[in-house]
Chain A
Amino acid sequence: MSVTTLSSQALAQRQPSWLVRLFDYKPFLIVMCLAPAIGLLAVFLTYPLGLGIWLAFTDTTIGRRGVFVGFENFQYLLTDPLWWNAVFYSVVYTGIATFGKFALGFWLALLLNNHFPFKSILRAIILLPWIVPTVLSALAFWWIYDPQFSIISYLLVDVLHWRSTNVDFLGSAWPARFSLIAANIWRGIPFVAISLLAGLQTISPSLYEAAMLDGASAWQRFRYITFPMMMPILAIVMTFSIIFTFTDFQLVYAITRGGPVNSTHLLATLAFQRGIAGGELGEGAAIAVSMIPFLIFATLFSYFGLARRKWQQGESND
């Protein structure tokens, strides 16, 4: 039996290659692992957002490359009554619709949290307004609100004889605004109700049992157990709801296109109207960018709503 010894050259050859050593280098490995995610974010998030913000500072139009104009678009918007009107209605629309969705959604979630026959089927049915494509539900509401052919008018005028004329839902400013808010509430309730129902089901029944032994009333159980325990999920769902409502487009565009007399333009519909239909890409982008402060406010609202709850960080709540 012969014994061979490895030469120093052979030993050197068995050393890991530079590529292997490179991937063993921790900082490089971190960069390589993060690169795909960063690339995706850059392509699908940063680039469109950056381009939108850049356009807001130019006078680009469809068919014409723009030049940098600084804050000119924003200065113009501050003098534009229609932009102010859109800001006003966006805030009103978001405020009232969010309040309506949460009041009704929370109530619905509490009802669905009880034990009753066919619970699963009813929960599935509740989701219907949410899963129907927005444009389809918008078209349905457009018919419901039609000045001549509304089913509501038909019931009130022809069936019940409570009115002599049709209801003109969309023909003047405030009725049109409230009609759109009602449609948005109808569409948004399932999202709120199902999300809050999921939260309700995480609350331990033992808390309620203990409270009942202590003689707490139903209101006290809601006030001191349900509501505080639901705060984190309420804050998250409300943030999403505010963002979805504030940036709503389809309902308004399909039903009124911002009319009558531009009274129902949200910032999103006005941005589309000016940027795409009107061809003023720079101005449309500026209107879209002007939504960002409102959206940041909504996000911060959620962040601080959650962060102050110490128990989420593993500490007891004050």
Chain B
Amino acid sequence: MRNDITRRDALALGLSAAALAAGTPANAQSAIKAADVPAPKLAIEKGATLRMLRPVRFVQADEDVFRANATKFTKETGVEVKVDFVGWEDINQQTAVTANSGAGPDIIIGFSDAPHIYIDKLIELTDVADYVGKKYGGWLPLAQRYGKKNKSDAWIGLPFGATAGPLIYRKSILQSVGFDKVPEDHAGILDLSQKLHKAGKPAGFALGNAKGDGNGFANWALWSHNASLLDEEGNVIINSKETIAALNWVKQIYPTFIAGTPSWNDVSNNRAYSSQEISLTANGVSLYFSLKNDPATKAIADDSEHQLLPKGLAKVSPMAGLTLNAMVFKHSPYPNAAKAFLQYMLEKDQYEPWLNANSGYWSQPLAAYAEAAVWKGDPKVSIFKDTMNSTYYDGYKGPISTATGAVSADYVLIQMCASVATSAATPEAAAAEAEQRCKRYFRRQK
């Protein structure tokens, strides 16, 4: 039996790989095209030093290459950069303290909606965003959604990448019950899930208070039925006939899941899949790599396939990515140095080795980086390449705000699905309760 720490260790490519990635001239075999665009003139302040926070690495090489790039920046510009890595659960609180106190790091890389929450405390990054956008094939849709101020072309964050949670399934088990892959329609998914349950290798999707996987399943259940939390104007429309249809479907499919999913957290599905208790779930690339890198479980990895979340009634796969989003605070005495640093890190010579070192865990926000070597190696990883092409995001399809993040953090949508699945509430009652809670969060956003 394995735990999360072990998987992280298994994922780590090691210092040597990182050093190789950082030290190899990016232009040597790069297929990435860069347009000839003049860089913005950023007069770096005399004596500038920078301090930044970013979420802790999931892959060791992420940190190693990131630090190596920062050191290169210092050598080239003379600007000292101190990078601190903090836990994923802590980054929001530290950003809040920084924003409220007006002191602390000059730059924070937070998650998806963070710049929208602290918008008044941030400097615009439009000049840098426009420059790297034009140079590297344009920003992908999810990057634009999270990077730009709502209904504006002003950039308040610079997305560095996103990670997604598509389906992962056991090819041989699906074939044994008559399927080559997971169907795209709800009836087909239900049929498959019933057959997997009968075969003793059921599906399992988190319905517990799991920030990543639980919200991923709840959002997918809603979006694939064309339901959403908000309309384009930001009105809460969760209590809709589409939501009721989604909840009725969740109620139907839940009995086919392995027992215990309402108590699952973010590592539960990893463990159940690794121990061959389940044959279908949704997860990031980390699960596949942990299986692949361990000789004891390599056979499971060989028998596993990834697939985008089924469309259902949606036109494209309704899958949002968790995005790294960089912010520069107004209280920084060195705003130009901060912008120059972020620009430097997104340039090909730095970004490409970093992207490759992440082995597919983070996918690029700029179109040109789709040609990076990381996407041409293991075909089972290439599905993660288009994560930031998604048009779905937390709070879809309304404007991003503090409240959209709060609804996700408070597990409102997961609990709505779980209460119906476990017959603790009717679909109508669950949707009404979720609506009440969401309206509470959104009461100041209008």
Contact = CB atoms under 8 A, between A and B. Distances in A.
A97 B409 CA distance: 30
Interface string A151-179: 00000000000000110111111001000
A288 to B, nearest CB: 16
B375 to A, nearest CB: 34
Interface string A258-300: 1111110000000001101111100100000000000000000
Contacts of B260: 146-148, 166, 168, 170-171
A165 to B, nearest CB: 7
A227 interface: no
Interface stretch (B13-21, B135-143, B261-269, B311-319): B261-269
Given A63-B96, A76-B440, A259-B262, A172 B422 contact: yes
Contacts of A170: 260, 262-263
B95 to A, nearest CB: 8
Interface in B221-250: none
A176 B263 contact: yes
Of the four ranges (under 10, 10 to 19, 20 to 34, 35 or more), the interface on chain B belongs to 35 or more
Given A63-B118, A63-B402, A148-B272, A260 B259 contact: no
Of the four ranges (under 10, 10 to 19, 20 to 34, 35 or more), the interface on chain A belongs to 35 or more
A278 B259 contact: no
Contacts of A166: 259-260
Contacts of A195: none
Interface in B389-419: 402, 405-406, 409-411, 415, 418-419
A278 B262 contact: no
B322 interface: no
B424 A149 contact: no
Contacts of B24: none
Given A59-B444, A76-B440, A148 B258 contact: yes
B277 A61 contact: no
A257 interface: yes
Contacts of B418: 259-261
A256 interface: yes
Contacts of B96: 62-63, 279
Interface of A: 59, 61-65, 76, 79-82, 146-149, 165-166, 168-173, 176, 256-263, 273-274, 276-280, 283
23 contacts: A63-B96, A63-B99, A64-B402, A79-B436, A80-B436, A146-B260, A147-B264, A148-B258, A148-B268, A148-B272, A148-B275, A149-B275, A168-B260, A171-B422, A257-B265, A258-B209, A261-B415, A261-B418, A261-B422, A279-B402, A280-B406, A280-B440, A280-B441
Contacts of A273: 410
Interface in B259-289: 259-265, 268, 271-272, 275, 277
B277 A148 contact: yes
A278 B409 contact: yes
Contacts of B405: 279
Nearest to B403: A279
Given A82-B437, A146-B260, A147-B260, 20 more contacts: A61-B402, A62-B93, A62-B100, A63-B99, A63-B402, A148-B271, A149-B275, A171-B259, A172-B422, A256-B208, A256-B209, A259-B418, A261-B262, A261-B422, A262-B419, A273-B410, A277-B409, A277-B410, A278-B410, A280-B441
